[in-house]
């Protein structure tokens, strides 16, 4: 991932130094496992662990000649360790034993950061939902005014979706926290299966129940999919905010810092650049998830068509998702909520959003549904065309006065549409408790 979107906390997990350090951790853990089984002297393993080291520069120098990164790594470590102790290093292993097990450590640790920040974002959404439970605004379907809702209800929808993201990410973390020390085609031909079990226990991973030369890539596809879905939720939030920031709506707006400028040519501009950025980034996560699907089907016990792609999509997706979580929190914490504009927009058209309420009142009063729909729609379409306010136009209808009388104020109170939302906010409070437990 480019430096612009790489936060140090997660970026440090994917640099070359960290990658090779994980490789070394796996190699030493294998040696310790063999020592526990009495296959090699413990004293020699401790000497190996003490002396084993590398430099990234030396690995790259040797790789220029060998064109094989693991061989270059093993050779570099051997330069730091005296013979005969060095003979225990990488004994009985294939490259993917090291690569996939160390990669599991990187993915696990990255997902731990993502899960932590996803939980924080979910808690923030519950807090904001409860804060805005009574912030009335118009609900829209197809981009068109529908019926009243509240901002708190919108936020509740996002909060529960974020909880589902946590469930998916947790399962994905479990799926990728798997390693293998089973040799060239996964048959344990040159290594005791107990070595794998002991090694994984030390590393905090689970042994693959059955593997080929590699850990199977459906696991990585699941992680990339869970990350992409998380991205789509953040995109959903961003899309709502940037849409609501349009000049004609102006109900919500992302934070705009002092000294910030929206356009080089138009000083009045206040562009939703953060939320637009989030929407663009979600596309990258989805594209990377497709790579994960493609990487699952490989020739026989393994080819390396997945390898080059994973070097890009695994660090990029985890790093980008982490950045998006931080940016989404930043947007929500600084969210500009224009309650007055929400009320103004809801009342545009002179109460047209209450047409459904009037329809049901007429039906309840005895008018046939078809007749009631026709009466209400005719007034609504005139209001839509700007011929007057819907409330005044519907009150002029003789049929309406006959069935409902002349005082229709009670039908134009938005509280009817949100009076039962308490059940939703009770669930939000329960969600907050689960997230903070």
Q: Supply the pLDDT for residue 184.
A: 94
Percent of the chain exceeding pLDDT 70 equals 97
Indicate the average pLDDT of the chain.
95
CATH assignment of 94-137+145-255+263-343?
1.20.200.10
Q: What is the mean pLDDT of residues 239-250?
A: 96
Structure tokens, 273: 């650049």
Reported as a pLDDT band with limits 50, 70 and 90, residue 418 is: confident
The stretch 160-183 carries a mean pLDDT of 98
Question: Is residue 259 predicted with pLDDT exceeding 70?
Answer: no
Comparing 47-56, 251-260, 386-395, the range with the smallest average pLDDT is 251-260
Assess whether pLDDT exceeds 80 at residue 269.
no
Q: Is the pLDDT assigned to residue 268 strictly greater than 80?
A: no
Average pLDDT over residues 147-160: 97
Q: According to the model, what pLDDT value does residue 349 have?
A: 86
pLDDT band at 432; cut points 50, 70, 90: very high
- Residue 263 pLDDT more than 70? no
Q: Flag whether pLDDT at 265 surpasses 70.
A: no
Domain ranges of the chain: 94-137+145-255+263-343, 347-406
Share of the chain above pLDDT 90, in %: 91
414, two tokens = 């938005």
pLDDT digits (tens, 9 = 90+) for 105-153: 999 999 999 999 999 999 999 999 999 999 999 999 999 999 999 999 9
Domain 347-406, CATH = 1.10.40.30
pLDDT band, very low/low/confident/very high, at 416 (cuts 50, 70, 90): confident
| Span 330-353, average pLDDT | 95
Q: Which of 75-84, 89-98, 172-181, 306-315 has the lowest mean pLDDT?
A: 75-84
Residues marked active site are found at 142, 263
């Amino acid at each position: 991932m480019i430096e612009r979107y790489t936060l140090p906390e997660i970026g440090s997990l994917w640099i070359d130094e960290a990658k090779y350090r994980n490789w070394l951790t796996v190699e030493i853990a294998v040696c310790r496992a063999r020592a526990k089984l009495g296959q090699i002297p413990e004293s020699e393993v401790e000497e190996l662990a003490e002396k084993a080291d590398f430099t990234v520069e030396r690995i790259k120098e040797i790789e220029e000649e060998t064109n094989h990164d693991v061989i270059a790594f093993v050779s570099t470590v051997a330069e730091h360790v005296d013979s005969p102790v060095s003979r225990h290093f990488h004994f009985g292993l294939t490259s993917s034993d090291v690569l996939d097990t160390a990669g599991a450590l990187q993915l696990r640790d990255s997902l731990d950061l993502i899960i932590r920040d996803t939980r924080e974002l979910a808690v923030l959404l519950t807090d904001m939902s409860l804060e805005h439970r009574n912030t009335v605004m118009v609900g829209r379907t197809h981009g068109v005014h529908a019926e009243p809702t509240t901002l708190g209800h919108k936020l509740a929808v996002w909060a529960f979706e974020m909880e589902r993201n946590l469930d998916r990410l947790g399962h994905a973390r479990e799926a990728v926290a798997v390693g293998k020390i089973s040799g060239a085609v996964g048959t344990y031909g040159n290594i005791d299966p107990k070595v794998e079990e002991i090694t994984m226990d030390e590393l905090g991973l689970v042994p693959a129940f059955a593997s080929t030369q590699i850990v199977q890539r459906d696991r990585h596809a699941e992680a990339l999919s869970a990350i992409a879905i998380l991205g789509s939720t953040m995109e959903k939030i961003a899309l709502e905010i940037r849409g609501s920031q349009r000049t004609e709506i102006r109900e919500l707006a992302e934070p705009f810092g002092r000294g910030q400028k929206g356009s080089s040519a138009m000083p009045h501009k206040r562009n939703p650049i953060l939320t637009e950025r989030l929407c663009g980034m979600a596309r990258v996560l989805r594209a990377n998830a497709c790579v994960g699907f493609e990487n699952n089907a490989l020739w026989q016990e393994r080819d390396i068509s997945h390898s080059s792609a994973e070097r890009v999509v695994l660090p990029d997706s985890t790093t980008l998702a982490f950045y998006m979580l931080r940016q989404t929190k930043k947007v929500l914490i600084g969210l500009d909520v224009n309650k007055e504009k929400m009320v103004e927009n809801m009342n545009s058209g002179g109460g047209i959003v209450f047409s459904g309420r009037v329809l049901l009142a007429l039906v309840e009063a005895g008018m046939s549904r078809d007749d009631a729909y026709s009466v209400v729609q005719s007034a609504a379409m005139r209001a839509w065309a700007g011929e007057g306010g819907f409330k005044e136009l519907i009150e002029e209808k003789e049929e309406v006065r006959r069935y409902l009388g002349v005082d229709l104020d009670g039908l134009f109170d938005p509280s009817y549409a949100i009076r039962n939302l308490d059940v939703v906010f009770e669930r939000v409070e329960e969600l907050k408790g689960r997230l903070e437990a």
